[in-house]
Amino acid sequence: MVVTAEGRQIAPSLVDFSSDRPFIVAPLLNNNWLVEATLARSADGTLADPIVVRDGDRGRLIPLYATWGKTTRREP
């Protein structure tokens, strides 16, 4: 996953990483879900993690995985 500009703004400590569980974006868009924010995505844009999606006016889903103790940080 490559951190997006939006991701840097929302989560400044987020760095590029490999994801074992990214969201596949296309099926979400075909089922009335809206992408509100993509914090990181694959190079081709078909996968995202973390991502904020909204099911119309019914609510949001914000899957993410946080870690502690990272000692290195990629500077912008």
Please give the single-letter amino acid code of residue 52: V
Give the pLDDT of residue 59.
84
In angstroms, the CA 54 to CA 67 distance is 25
Q: What is the pTM of this model?
A: 0.76
Integer CA distances (angstroms), 64 to 40, 70, 76, in order:
11, 16, 22
Cis ω for the linkage preceding 22 (within 30 of 0) = no
- Confidence label for 7 from pLDDT (cuts 50, 70 and 90): very high
Give the pLDDT of residue 76.
53
In angstroms, the CA 72 to CA 76 distance is 13
In angstroms, the CA 18 to CA 66 distance is 13
Give residue-wise pLDDT tens across range 13-67. Answer: 889 988 888 888 888 777 778 899 999 999 999 999 999 999 878 888 877 766 6
